[in-house]
């Protein structure tokens, strides 16, 4: 009886027509999209409101006043500047370091494989925990990095507590945590490149620098663009490291978008302003992503000989 | 068995015998401390239950949101007493302070009914109250059918009790006639000096009596103690918490305010007066000369641990921080002393700004009456006595506990000068901030400005003028200025 049921045809009532099937199959994706879009559009609506949780009676649409206020607010321009400087600095440095390490580890060997695994350890550390570790290491009283700084004549180096060096300190932590991410992506890219061009160059006795700039780098560019895009999006939204180490200070030295938005929501309960800040951050990341993806597609087309 | 002893404890609970007399009597009866404790708890529970139906909500359950703190530890240690007394169940979540207030904001702003009551500070209620997240507890306190006649609402220290009550009007006086009781005080902190007596003796300096002396003493300690020890620990992180302890206590002592409140209820910045600028200049100089090197990252935690570890010679911060650092396995345990501090040489007494750990009821609680039973027990005299005498529930908010000789002697013996410090500064202790909903915006910006001044990014005069200008703009935008 059971075998009859299993091998028998599906009852007519349960058949899904070929026209409907694609819609049914895409339903989960549609639900995910809705799940993403509801909070997003809620934030957009909030950003157009005067909305403080501590003054619920004053909640009303102010039609872009939150955004307009930013233009005359020096704090906002500082936030924009700090966020871009932080993201730009970390991404460039991590890219250079990651590429350098990937090139060093390019050749497959037991030692290189072991080193690449060890280098991934910072990436497995939660950023907030990394910030805490660095906070201890940079303590002017007992921190080991302060001790090393004193050995090279930098007495009383204040790391994250001075406006002059706070950015440098958090950038160092970011580099420590995320360089392995770039390294592993580029290493995978390097190891997957076709060997023929390199063999031909070796036979022709082409100088190494020429090989690097004319063969390796162009072939690696899609990987570099992907790694840069991921890191840039992440870095411009940095929160954990900066907040755990400095809370955005000293002064307004490190008040990046996420820190400002967090303080606006959780401390000031200013939902409208917080949402407006995050929508601006979204717009910036959207524009940056578009630039990168368009370049990536152009490169891919060129590689296929379509452009 | 133990009938005489039970009578003795009952007499104590009725106020007919003092605490010393009861302990003497129990000792004479040959009772061990453990047995005496058990009997005491049993009789306390009976006394509590005498004139009030504590079992009215038996079988119900309340859930608490707690901050990891010795006061929460003391409550948890005594929770079985409440369960026995009421027949109610209590569950709780405990979070470290770093994330605690975010958790509270998230729970309340989402109208979550998960938690019935939670720990809070008075400043937070200036947001939670007007937002409609917490309940005005007057409704229960004044209801004789729901509140134990022995609760003793008048026993709370008046300044502390008033600090938890606000009418919701920006600039409205705390504890006014029309104020709503947003929270019940539990334990509080005054801000005074805690210092390392050994270091003071080594350098040969006395306890500073005013701000000028504080500057010179801290500088001398920094110079002469050696071993990298710095003179004075104060908070410096970019947060409201930097402004409220020593800083505002000293600032208020010079008669200075955060905001002006006009006759029509409008608010305006008050921190760019000449007197305020002079105070700021000295405070900034003190940090630059004698503060921790990474001051701008300092929260209460770093201030306290540095004192306990012997990295700083004194702190101008919460007295209970000095208390905790003088015990446990801290390196400087037993070497710390305490002093009341009036920053203004012309002032007759200190004016410490206070922090009050309190309990609030969520407006989204599923059973407010049952929750109130928990609140009145947790803030009741019996639990306060338990916490003060058996746990580290220092700075209780009830006058009766402060009058308790056993409690005072315990403190005097282990923490010399602590009780005297408390008694001298208590009359001037209150919240010196203006109650208004932008409290966190303004104080965070104030702390950031202080950081810029200490880092010499902006002169004090200019920094305060800019701060006042920014605050006035924010107040106007929010319809408060």
Spatial separation of the C-alpha atoms in residues B178 and B161, rounded to whole Å:
14
**Does residue B201 sit in the same domain as residue B343?**
yes
Domain borders along chain A are 73-302
pLDDT band at A299 (very low <50, low <70, confident <90, very high): confident
**Does residue B303 sit in the same domain as residue B193?**
yes
Q: In this complex, is the C-beta atom of B443 within 8 Å of any C-beta atom belonging to chain A?
A: no
Q: What is the ipTM of this complex?
A: 0.83
CB of A222 closer than 8 Å to CB of A300: yes
* Best of A53, A154, A166, A256 to mutate (most B CBs within 10 Å, chain B): A53
pLDDT band at B259 (very low <50, low <70, confident <90, very high): very high
**Does residue B33 sit in the same domain as residue B150?**
no
**B25 is a domain residue:** yes
CB of A230 closer than 8 Å to CB of A90: no
**Does residue B234 sit in the same domain as residue B374?**
no
* Best of A135, A267, A276 to mutate (most B CBs within 10 Å, chain B): A267
- A-chain residues near B109 (CB < 8 A): 53, 269
Per-residue pLDDT at A10: 53
CATH number of the domain where residue B402 is located: 3.40.190.10
Taking the CA of residue A272 and the nearest CA in chain B, the distance in Å comes to 12
Bond prior to A250 in cis (omega within 30° of 0):
yes
pLDDT band at A1 (very low <50, low <70, confident <90, very high): very low
**B481 is a domain residue:** no
**Does residue B70 sit in the same domain as residue B27?**
no
**Does residue B366 sit in the same domain as residue B309?**
no
CB of B159 closer than 8 Å to CB of B429: yes
| pLDDT tens digits, B392-430 | 888 999 999 999 888 898 888 888 899 999 999 999 999
Count CB neighbours of B352 within 10 A.
31
pLDDT band at B479 (very low <50, low <70, confident <90, very high): confident
- A-chain residues near B458 (CB < 8 A): 251
Share of chain A above pLDDT 90, in %: 77
Taking the CA of residue B440 and the nearest CA in chain A, the distance in Å comes to 6
pLDDT band at A296 (very low <50, low <70, confident <90, very high): confident
Spatial separation of the C-alpha atoms in residues B457 and A78, rounded to whole Å:
15
Spatial separation of the C-alpha atoms in residues A241 and A238, rounded to whole Å:
7
Q: Is the pLDDT of residue A8 over 80?
A: no
Pairing of strands B267-269, B259-261: antiparallel
Q: How far is CA A241 from CA A86, A128, A208, B43, B278, in A?
A: 12, 6, 39, 53, 36
Q: In this complex, is the C-beta atom of B476 within 8 Å of any C-beta atom belonging to chain A?
A: no
Residues of A near B (Cβ–Cβ under 8 Å) read 52-56, 58, 69, 135, 138-141, 156, 158-163, 245-252, 263, 266-270
Q: Pick from B182, B173, B172, B150: which is nearest to B398 by CA?
A: B150
Mean pLDDT value across residues A107-116: 93
pLDDT band at A57 (very low <50, low <70, confident <90, very high): confident
**B230 is a domain residue:** yes
pLDDT band at B47 (very low <50, low <70, confident <90, very high): low
Question: Is A61 in a helix, a strand, or coil?
Answer: strand
**Does residue B63 sit in the same domain as residue B161?**
yes
- B-chain residues near A260 (CB < 8 A): none
**HSE value, Cβ hemisphere, 13 Å, CA-based, for A38:** 5
Q: Is the pLDDT of residue A148 over 50?
A: yes
Mean pLDDT value across residues B227-254: 96
- A-chain residues near B104 (CB < 8 A): none
- The answer to whether B441 contacts A267, with C-beta atoms less than 8 Å apart, is yes
Taking the CA of residue A47 and the nearest CA in chain B, the distance in Å comes to 16
Spatial separation of the C-alpha atoms in residues B325 and B168, rounded to whole Å:
37
Spatial separation of the C-alpha atoms in residues A261 and A281, rounded to whole Å:
10
Share of chain B above pLDDT 70, in %: 90
Q: Is the pLDDT of residue A25 over 80?
A: yes
**Does residue B169 sit in the same domain as residue B286?**
no
| pLDDT tens digits, B154-191 | 999 999 999 999 999 999 999 999 999 999 999 999 99
Question: Is A126 in a helix, a strand, or coil?
Answer: coil
**B52 is a domain residue:** no
Q: How many domains is chain B built from?
A: 3
Per-residue pLDDT at A5: 46
Q: In this complex, is the C-beta atom of B146 within 8 Å of any C-beta atom belonging to chain A?
A: no
- The answer to whether A141 contacts B293, with C-beta atoms less than 8 Å apart, is yes
Q: In this complex, is the C-beta atom of B477 within 8 Å of any C-beta atom belonging to chain A?
A: yes
Q: In this complex, is the C-beta atom of B295 within 8 Å of any C-beta atom belonging to chain A?
A: yes
Per-residue pLDDT at B341: 97
- The answer to whether A160 contacts B130, with C-beta atoms less than 8 Å apart, is no
pLDDT band at B50 (very low <50, low <70, confident <90, very high): low
**Does residue B28 sit in the same domain as residue B120?**
no
> Higher model confidence: residue A232 or residue A2?
A232
**Does residue B132 sit in the same domain as residue B212?**
no
> Higher model confidence: residue A190 or residue B394?
A190
Per-residue pLDDT at A171: 97
- The answer to whether B293 contacts A160, with C-beta atoms less than 8 Å apart, is no
* Assigned fold of A73-302: MetI-like fold (1.10.3720)
Q: How many CB pairs under 8 A join A and B?
A: 96
- The answer to whether A56 contacts B131, with C-beta atoms less than 8 Å apart, is yes
Taking the CA of residue A44 and the nearest CA in chain B, the distance in Å comes to 18
Quote the domain boundaries for residue B89: 59-185+356-426
Q: Quick one: closest CA in A to B126, which residue?
A: A54
pLDDT band at B6 (very low <50, low <70, confident <90, very high): low
Which own/partner contact pairs does A232-236 have at CB distance under 8 Å and 24+ positions apart? A232/A87, A232/A91, A232/A288, A232/A292, A233/A285, A233/A288, A233/A289, A234/A178, A235/A86, A235/A87, A235/A90, A235/A91, A235/A174, A235/A178, A236/A83, A236/A84, A236/A86, A236/A87, A236/A281, A236/A284, A236/A285, A236/A288
Per-residue pLDDT at A3: 44
Per-residue pLDDT at A22: 87
| pLDDT tens digits, B292-332 | 999 999 999 999 999 999 999 999 999 999 999 999 899 99
Q: Which of A229-238, A295-304, B94-103, B156-165 has the lowest mean pLDDT?
A: A295-304
Taking the CA of residue A52 and the nearest CA in chain B, the distance in Å comes to 9
Per-residue pLDDT at A20: 87
Taking the CA of residue A53 and the nearest CA in chain B, the distance in Å comes to 6
Per-residue pLDDT at B244: 95
């Amino acid at each position: 009886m059971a075998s009859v049921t299993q091998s028998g045809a599906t009852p007519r009532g349960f058949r899904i027509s070929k026209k409907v099937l694609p819609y049914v199959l895409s339903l989960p994706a549609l639900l995910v999209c809705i799940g993403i879009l509801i909070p997003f559009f809620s934030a957009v609506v909030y950003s157009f409101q005067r909305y403080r949780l501590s003054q619920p009676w004053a909640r009303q649409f102010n039609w872009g006043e939150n955004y307009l206020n930013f233009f005359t607010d020096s704090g906002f321009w500082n936030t924009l500047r700090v966020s871009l400087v932080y993201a730009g600095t970390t991404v460039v440095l991590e890219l250079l370091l990651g590429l350098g390490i990937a090139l060093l580890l390019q050749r497959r060997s037991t030692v290189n494989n072991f080193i690449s695994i060890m280098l991934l350890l910072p990436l497995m550390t939660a950023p907030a925990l990394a910030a805490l570790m660095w906070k201890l290491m940079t303590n002017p009283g007992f921190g080991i990095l302060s001790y090393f700084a004193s050995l090279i004549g930098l007495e009383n180096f204040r790391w994250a507590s001075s406006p002059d060096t706070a950015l440098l300190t958090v950038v160092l932590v970011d580099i420590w945590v995320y360089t392995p991410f770039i390294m592993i992506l580029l290493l995978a890219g390097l190891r997957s490149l076709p060997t023929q061009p390199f063999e031909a160059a070796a036979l022709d006795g082409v100088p190494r620098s020429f090989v690097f700039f004319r063969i390796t780098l162009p072939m690696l560019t899609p990987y570099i663009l992907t790694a840069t895009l991921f890191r840039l999006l992440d870095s411009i939204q940095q929160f954990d490291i900066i907040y755990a180490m400095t809370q955005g200070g000293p002064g307004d030295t490190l008040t990046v978008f996420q820190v400002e938005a967090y303080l606006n929501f959780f401390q000031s309960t200013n939902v409208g302003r917080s949402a407006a800040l995050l929508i601006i951050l979204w717009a910036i990341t959207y524009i940056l992503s578009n630039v990168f993806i368009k370049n990536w597609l152009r490169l891919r087309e060129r590689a296929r000989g379509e452009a | 068995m133990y009938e005489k002893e039970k009578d003795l404890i009952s007499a104590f609970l009725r106020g007919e015998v003092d605490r010393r007399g009861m302990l003497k009597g129990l000792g004479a009866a040959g009772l061990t401390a453990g047995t005496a404790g058990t009997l005491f708890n049993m009789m306390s529970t009976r006394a509590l239950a005498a004139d009030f139906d504590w079992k009215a909500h038996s079988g119900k359950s309340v859930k608490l949101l707690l901050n990891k703190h010795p006061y929460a530890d003391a409550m948890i240690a005594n929770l079985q007493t409440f369960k026995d007394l009421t027949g109610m169940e209590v569950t709780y979540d405990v979070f470290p302070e770093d994330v605690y207030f975010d958790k509270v904001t998230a729970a309340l702003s989402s109208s979550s009914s998960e938690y019935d009551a939670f720990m809070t500070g008075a400043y937070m209620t200036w947001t939670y109250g007007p937002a409609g997240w917490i309940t005005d507890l007057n409704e229960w306190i004044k209801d004789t059918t729901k509140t134990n006649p022995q609760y003793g609402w008048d026993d709370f220290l008046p300044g502390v009790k008033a600090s938890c009550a606000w009418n919701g009007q920006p600039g409205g006086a705390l504890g006014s006639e029309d104020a709503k009781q947003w929270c019940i005080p539990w334990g509080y902190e005054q801000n005074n000096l805690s210092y390392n007596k050994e270091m003071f003796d080594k350098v040969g300096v006395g306890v500073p009596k005013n701000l000028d002396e504080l500057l010179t003493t801290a500088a001398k300690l920094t110079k002469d103690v050696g071993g990298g020890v710095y003179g004075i620990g104060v908070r410096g992180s970019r947060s409201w918490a930097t402004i409220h302890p020593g800083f505002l206590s000293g600032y208020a002592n010079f008669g200075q305010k955060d905001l002006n409140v006009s006759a029509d209820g409008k608010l305006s910045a008050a921190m760019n007066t000449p007197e305020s600028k002079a105070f700021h200049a000295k405070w900034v100089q003190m940090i630059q000369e004698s503060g921790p090197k990474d001051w701008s990252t300092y929260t209460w935690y770093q201030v306290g641990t540095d004192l306990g570890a012997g990295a700083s010679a004194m702190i101008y911060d919460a007295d209970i921080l000095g208390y905790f650092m003088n015990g446990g396995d801290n390196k400087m345990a037993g070497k710390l002393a305490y002093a009341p501090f009036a920053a203004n040489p012309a002032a007759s007494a200190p004016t410490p700004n206070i922090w009050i750990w309190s309990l609030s009821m969520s407006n989204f609680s599923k059973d407010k009456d049952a929750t109130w039973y928990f609140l009145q027990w947790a803030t009741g005299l019996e639990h306060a006595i338990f916490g003060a005498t058996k746990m580290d529930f220092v700075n209780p908010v009830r006058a009766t506990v402060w009058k308790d000789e056993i409690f005072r002697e315990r403190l005097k013996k282990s923490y010399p000068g602590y009780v005297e410090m408390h008694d001298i500064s208590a009359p001037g202790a209150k919240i010196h901030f203006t109650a208004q909903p932008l409290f966190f915006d303004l104080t965070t910006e104030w702390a950031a400005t202080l950081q810029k001044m200490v880092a010499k990014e902006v002169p004090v005069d200019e920094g305060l003028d800019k701060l006042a200008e920014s605050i006035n703009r924010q107040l106007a935008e929010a319809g408060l200025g």
